[in-house]
C-alpha cells in the first residue's frame, strides 16, 4: 500500500542545522523506481517554535526559496505540532491537495537521514501492523555514527545499518522522528484541531508521553523498529537556551503530567 505522508519539521534557533536537515530529508525520499514501484509521495511543512528574529528570518528565506510552507511562531511545541497536523488534515483550509493525508510524521531540525526510503519503510510497517498507532526508527547520536556515513547511503552505510539492525530489536518505545496513521490521530483527537495537549509548555518533554498514553488507552501500540535509522544531534536546536531557562517549564510539564495521570512514568 502506498500513500502520501505529511512531514512536520518544527524549528528553533538554528538555521544551519535546519537547512542541512531538510536537504538530507529531501535526498532520502525515493523515486517510484527505487520504492519498488509502490505509489508514494510526501508533503512537508515547517512550523517555527519561537526562534529569535535573525534565525527566523534565515528560516523564512530558506523556505521561500524552496516554496516550503512555513507557519509563524508557535510558542510551545504542542502548538507547533497541532498547527502542522491541522495543515495536513484540514482539507481546503490546509494542504493544497485538499485531502486528508493517510500518514502524518514529525522530524527534528537537527537530524540527518542517510537511509534512502526510511519514510516508506515506516509506512509499510504501519500497513503490516494495523494495531500500531505510532512508529519510530532507530535513532543514533552523531557521535555514534562514523563520519563518512552521516550524509550519504551506499554500500558502506547499508553494511553499517545491517549491523545496527542485528544489535537492536523491535520494541515498544517513544522517540522522534515518528509516523502515525490518520486512524490513530483521529482516535486521540482532544477537540477541534487539537491532538497534542496545549497544557504542556515550551520544548520541555512530557507532551509525547501524554500522546502515547492516549494511544495505548485507545488500543494502539507505540513501537520502535530497527528496519531503518536516522541520526540526531540531540538538543541541537536549544543552543540559545540554557538548562536554567528550560528548568521551570520542565517542572511545570512534569507536574501537569502527574496531575493528569497520577504518576510520572513514560507509558512505553
If one compares 80 and 150, the residue with the highest pLDDT of the two is 80
Pairing of strands 40-48, 3-11: parallel
Confirm if 6 and 101 have CB atoms less than 8 A apart: yes
* pLDDT at residue number 235: 56
**Largest Cα–Cα separation, the chain:** 51
| SS3 call for 54 | helix
pTM score of the predicted model: 0.87
Is residue 165 over pLDDT 90?
A: no
pLDDT tens for 125-134 read: 999 999 999 9
Q: At what angle do helices 207-217 and 77-89 cross, to 10 degrees?
A: 50
| Grid cell for residue 34 | 527505487
CB 125 within 8 A of CB 132: yes
Task: Summarize pLDDT for 6-53 with one digit per residue, the tens.
Answer: 899 988 778 888 888 888 888 888 764 455 555 567 788 888 877 778
- For the stretch 166-218, pLDDT in tens is 888 899 998 899 999 999 999 999 988 899 999 998 877 899 999 999 999 99
Identify the three-state secondary structure at position 222.
strand
Q: Residues 226, 230, 232, CA angle at the centre, nearest 5°?
A: 130
Is pLDDT above 80 for 229?
Answer: yes
Beta strands, E only, the chain: 3-11, 40-48, 69-71, 103-107, 111-112, 132-141, 171-172, 178-181, 221-232
**Residue-level pLDDT at 234:** 64
75 pLDDT more than 70: yes
C-beta neighbour count of 101 within 10 angstroms: 22
| The domain defined by 3-242+252-259 carries CATH number 3.40.50.300 | no
Model pLDDT, residue 163: 85
- Kindly state the cell numbers that stand for 223: 513501537
* Across 71-77, average pLDDT: 75
Mean pLDDT score of the chain, rounded to an integer? 82
pLDDT (mean) for 119-140: 93
* Annotated domain spans of the chain: 3-242+252-259
Amino acid at each position: 500500500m502506498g500513500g502520501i505522508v505529511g512531514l512536520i519539521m518544527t524549528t528553533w534557533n538554528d538555521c544551519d542545522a535546519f537547512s542541512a536537515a531538510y536537504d538530507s530529508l529531501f535526498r532520502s525520499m525515493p523515486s517510484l523506481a527505487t520504492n519498488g514501484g509502490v505509489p508514494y509521495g510526501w508533503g512537508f511543512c515547517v512550523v517555527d517554535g519561537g526562534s529569535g528574529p535573525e534565525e527566523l528570518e534565515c528560516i523564512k528565506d530558506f523556505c521561500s526559496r524552496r516554496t516550503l510552507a512555513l507557519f509563524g511562531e508557535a510558542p510551545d511545541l504542542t502548538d507547533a505540532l497541532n498547527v502542522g497536523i491541522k495543515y495536513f488534515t484540514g482539507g481546503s483550509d490546509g494542504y493544497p491537495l485538499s485531502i486528508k493525508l493517510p500518514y502524518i510524521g514529525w522530524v527534528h531540525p537537527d537530524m540527518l537521514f542517510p537511509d534512502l526510503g526510511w519514510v516508506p519503510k515506516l509506512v509499510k510497517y504501519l500497513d503490516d501492523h494495523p494495531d500500531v498507532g505510532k512508529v519510530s526508527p532507530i535513532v543514533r547520536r552523531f557521535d555514534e555514527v562514523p563520519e563518512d556515513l552521516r550524509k550519504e547511503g551506499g554500500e558502506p552505510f547499508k553494511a553499517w545499518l545491517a549491523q545496527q539492525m542485528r544489535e537492536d530489536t523491535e520494541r515498544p518505545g517513544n522517540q522522534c522522528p515518528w509516523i502515525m496513521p490518520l486512524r490513530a490521530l483521529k482516535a486521540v483527537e482532544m477537540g477541534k484541531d487539537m491532538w497534542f495537549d496545549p497544557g504542556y509548555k515550551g520544548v520541555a518533554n512530557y507532551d509525547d508521553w501524554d500522546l502515547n498514553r492516549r494511544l495505548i488507552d485507545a488500543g494502539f501500540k507505540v513501537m520502535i523498529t530497527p528496519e531503518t535509522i536516522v541520526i540526531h544531534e540531540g538538543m541541537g536546536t536549544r543552543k540559545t537556551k540554557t538548562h536554567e531557562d528550560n528548568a521551570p517549564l520542565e517542572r511545570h510539564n512534569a507536574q501537569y503530567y502527574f496531575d493528569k495521570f497520577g504518576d510520572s512514568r513514560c507509558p512505553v
